[in-house]
């Protein structure tokens, strides 16, 4: 226990330093998650060995993971994306997964990318809504037609992989029982969503409003309770906990509307992005095995190929948007869609912890995800004409 205060102090310092470092480049802002992962790599056991991702630090990292997925679910505004944007997004993600499976089975067969094809295909089909939403908001595109279709596509790129992970990876029961548990979890989620939308007792609403600005903070505590409840249910049913956290975020998103809802979102942002979520990315960096990048002679080629596959896999659905997007919007749409670090980190950790994916292959996949977050939003913004280069 004596080492934890110094390690926590270091992690708190790194978490404070990361957003400051994103402001240093004059021409562009590096996404803060990339800085957090890089700093985590530097302080981790594989570089300077200043801190270890075990014990209390590891537990805080897991809490950060669940809160990240909770906040991703909270970002989805179904009033804006339902209808054609959501239909195209779901169809596009299914097309992406199909293309990714073909590519990964091919490259695995020829020995160029020796990673479990299904796991790698799911990782390639992801989109980082939690990273893109702040970028689109800062550039004034979140409420545009382009932003609406982009958010819907990113939501499908988050939710689809989570469903596949929970259904197919590391089931703790037989296939039939696992499927029944999954259906039961979905039914519970639908009931909770219905209650969130329709059951609003006036006394409860009044109580929540009254405690919003007091030390009780009942709305915040209620949201955290709901998140832990769904995470516990997911774990009890043999599903992955990330599915529970994401579902809790969706339920809360349906429940909070209006001015009070915006205030609650800001409070949850502060808890998540101010405390727990940075710890997850820093801890993920601490687990990153840097030596894997030069232990294999093909590593640079594999990383470059994976970057190209990210654009291909998430870019193919652009053809479905021929009547919705202008011709000069399609390539930026593909680049934004190919930004996928957070879920790639999650999928890699699941693969390594379950013994399905070797650590060196996970490191290559995570490296490609880091570069996607660093490069693709900048290129997309440049093509959109929303970016002033030095």
How far CA 182 is from CA of 158, 227, 242, 275, in Å, comes to 18, 17, 13, 31
119 burial via Cβ count (<10 Å: 0-12, 13-18, 19+) = buried
Output the tens digit of pLDDT for each of the chain's 390 residues.
455 678 999 999 999 999 999 887 666 667 788 888 889 999 999 899 999 998 889 999 989 988 988 988 887 777 777 888 999 999 999 999 999 999 999 998 988 887 888 889 999 999 988 778 777 776 778 778 898 899 899 989 988 887 787 666 555 555 677 677 778 888 888 888 888 878 667 677 778 878 888 888 999 999 999 999 999 998 888 777 878 888 899 899 888 876 667 888 889 999 999 999 999 889 988 988 777 677 677 888 888 999 999 999 999 999 999 889 988 899 999 999 999 887 888 788 778 877 778 888 888 888 888 888 878 988 888 888 654 433
pLDDT of residue 26: 62
Q: Name the nearest CA neighbour of 118 among 177, 56, 170.
A: 170
pLDDT of residue 96: 96
370-373: which pairs have CB atoms within 8 A and are 24 or more residues apart?
A: 370/34, 370/37, 370/38, 370/341, 371/303, 371/307, 372/307, 372/310, 372/338, 372/339, 372/340, 372/341, 373/31, 373/33, 373/34, 373/128, 373/131, 373/339, 373/340, 373/341
Compute the distance between CA of residue 223 and CA of residue 240 in angstroms, rounded to an integer.
Answer: 20
Q: Are 332 and 383 in contact (CB under 8 A)?
A: yes
Q: Are 126 and 371 in contact (CB under 8 A)?
A: no
Beta strands in the chain (DSSP E): none
Q: Name the nearest CA neighbour of 146 among 384, 387, 315.
A: 384
pLDDT of residue 178: 65
Compute the distance between CA of residue 73 and CA of residue 158 in angstroms, rounded to an integer.
Answer: 9
Compute the distance between CA of residue 16 and CA of residue 14 in angstroms, rounded to an integer.
Answer: 5
Cβ within 8 Å of residue 291, ≥6 positions away? 46
Classified as helix, coil or strand, 138 is helix
**CATH numbers and ranges of domains, the chain:** 3-384 (1.20.1530.20)
Hunting for tokens 């339902």 — which residue is that? 82
Q: Are 118 and 168 in contact (CB under 8 A)?
A: yes
Hunting for tokens 């091919």 — which residue is that? 106
Q: Model-level pTM greater than 0.75? A: yes
Compute the distance between CA of residue 252 and CA of residue 75 in angstroms, rounded to an integer.
Answer: 10
| Max intra-chain CA distance, the chain | 65
Compute the distance between CA of residue 204 and CA of residue 60 in angstroms, rounded to an integer.
Answer: 32
Beta strands in 19-92 (DSSP E): none
CA–centroid distance for 186 within its chain: 20
pLDDT of residue 80: 76
pLDDT of residue 2: 52
């Amino acid at each position: 226990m004596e080492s934890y205060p110094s390690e926590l102090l270091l992690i708190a310092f790194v978490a404070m330093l990361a957003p400051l470092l994103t402001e240093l480049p004059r021409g562009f802002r590096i996404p803060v998650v990339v800085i957090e992962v890089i700093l985590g790599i530097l302080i981790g056991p594989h570089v300077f060995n200043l801190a270890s991702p075990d014990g209390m630090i590891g537990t805080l990292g897991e809490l950060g993971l669940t809160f990240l997925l909770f906040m991703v679910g909270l970002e989805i505004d179904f009033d804006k994306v339902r209808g054609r944007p959501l239909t195209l997004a779901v169809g596009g993600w299914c097309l992406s997964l199909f293309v990714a499976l073909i590519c990964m089975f091919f490259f695995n067969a020829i020995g160029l990318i020796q990673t479990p094809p299904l796991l790698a295909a799911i990782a390639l089909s992801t989109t980082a809504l939690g990273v893109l939403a702040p970028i689109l908001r800062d550039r004034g595109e979140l409420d545009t037609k382009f932003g609406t279709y982009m958010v819907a596509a990113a939501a499908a790129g988050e939710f689809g992989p989570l469903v596949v992970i929970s259904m197919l990876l590391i089931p703790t029961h037989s296939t039939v029982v696992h499927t029944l548990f999954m259906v039961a979890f979905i039914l519970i989620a639908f009931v909770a969503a219905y209650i969130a939308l329709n059951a609003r007792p006036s006394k409860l609403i009044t109580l929540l409003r009254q405690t919003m600005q007091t030390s009780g903070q009942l709305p915040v505590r209620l949201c955290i309770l709901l998140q832990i409840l769904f995470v516990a249910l997911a774990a009890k049913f043999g599903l992955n906990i990330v599915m529970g956290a994401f579902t809790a975020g969706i339920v809360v998103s349906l429940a909070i509307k209006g001015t009070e809802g915006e205030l609650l979102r800001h409070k949850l942002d502060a808890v998540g992005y101010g405390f727990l979520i940075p710890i997850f990315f820093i801890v993920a960096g601490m687990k990153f095995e840097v030596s894997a990048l030069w232990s294999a002679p093909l590593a640079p080629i594999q990383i470059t190929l994976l970057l190209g596959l990210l654009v291909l896999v998430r870019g193919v659905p652009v053809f479905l948007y021929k009547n919705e997007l202008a011709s000069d919007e399609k390539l930026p749409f593909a680049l934004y869609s190919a930004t996928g670090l957070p879920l790639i980190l999650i999928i890699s950790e699941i693969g390594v912890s379950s013994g399905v994916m070797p650590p060196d292959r996970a490191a290559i996949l995570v490296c490609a995800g880091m570069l996607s977050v660093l490069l693709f939003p900048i290129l997309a913004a440049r093509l959109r004409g929303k970016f002033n280069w030095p």
